[in-house]
Amino acid sequence: MTDVAENLSNVRARIAAAEQKAGRVAGSVTLLAVSKTKSVELIEVAVAAGQRVFAESYVQEAIAKQTVLVDLPLQWHFVGPIQSNKTRLIAEHFDWVHSIDRRKIAQRLNDQRPADMQPINVLLQVNISNELSKSGSDISEIKNLLESIMKLPRLSLRGLMAIPVKTTDYAEQRQAFRCLAELKTELNETFGLSMDCLSMGMSNDMEAAIAEGATHVRVGTGIFGARDNK
């Protein structure tokens, strides 16, 4: 059995240490517990240990869990690849979406966000590793994507997300995250925006991400243990 409460407290300690080492304000990094493939029971253990923010990657699986947990004050982030036939469910069931990588998806989320809900918080997923990774918008496309998203009133544009190619080399991890941080600064200046979020860092590279300014780290294995393949 994975000890979710103990893992959570270890992850929180790693985040606090990384914040301090980087000279950042304590508590400035939000921990997203990535609960994809994990049971409602394990999520409830995390909630009992004080966790309120969860991230999921598969729409139907996420909604099934949300339905059971509806009475708890949880915030839900969608971080998985988005098929266009799933946008309505995402617009109706999530507070945040980190994985917007094309215009069509953004337009559909905007059109399908229910009128009685706040605009949905969105981050653009950027492919900062070029041909090595297939997910995310290419850097060369990001300005066009941003220009169209800025016009969509039901989306609240909050920042950028990336999943860099895996490496255990700390300097390489930092370099990839720095690239995303610099891109956010550049886009804010170019377009007069105030994007305030950088979603970067997972179980194995959250320290490097926090050193480069991550505001949201997405941690699955480090909290819930290894996933079964899906």
Ligand X SMILES: *Cc1c(COP(=O)(O)O)cnc(C)c1O
Q: Which is nearer to ligand X, 14 or 218 (CB)?
A: 218
Q: How many residues bind ligand X (CB under 6 A)?
A: 14
Residue type, 90: I
Shortest gap between Cβ of 115 and ligand X (angstroms)?
Answer: 29
Shortest gap between Cβ of 98 and ligand X (angstroms)?
Answer: 7
Distance of alpha carbon 195 from alpha carbon 156, whole angstroms: 9
Beta-carbon contacts of 219 under 8 Å, excluding residues fewer than 6 positions away, are 11, 31, 32, 33, 34, 201, 202, 203, 206
Shortest gap between Cβ of 204 and ligand X (angstroms)?
Answer: 6
Beta-carbon contacts of 42 under 8 Å, excluding residues fewer than 6 positions away, are 2, 4, 35, 224
Q: Which of 79, 100, 106, 122 binds ligand X (CB under 6 A)?
A: 79
8 Å CB contact between 122 and 116: no
Regarding 222 and contact with ligand X (CB under 6 A), the answer is yes
Backbone angles phi, psi at 121, to 5 degrees: -75, 130
Shortest gap between Cβ of 220 and ligand X (angstroms)?
Answer: 3
For the chain, the straight-line distance linking the first and the last C-alpha, in angstroms and rounded, comes to 20
Q: Which of 77, 113, 184, 218 binds ligand X (CB under 6 A)?
A: 218
Q: Which is nearer to ligand X, 34 or 181 (CB)?
A: 34
Q: Which is nearer to ligand X, 113 or 216 (CB)?
A: 216
Q: Which is nearer to ligand X, 163 or 187 (CB)?
A: 163
Shortest gap between Cβ of 151 and ligand X (angstroms)?
Answer: 26
Which residues face 230 on adjacent strands?
A: none
8 Å CB contact between 128 and 180: yes
Segment 151-210, which members bind ligand X (CB under 6 A)?
163, 202-204
Q: Which is nearer to ligand X, 13 or 150 (CB)?
A: 13
Distance of alpha carbon 93 from alpha carbon 78, whole angstroms: 9
Q: Which residue is nearest to ligand X (CB)?
A: 220
- What residues line the site for ligand X (CB under 6 A)? 34, 36, 57, 79-80, 163, 202-204, 218-222
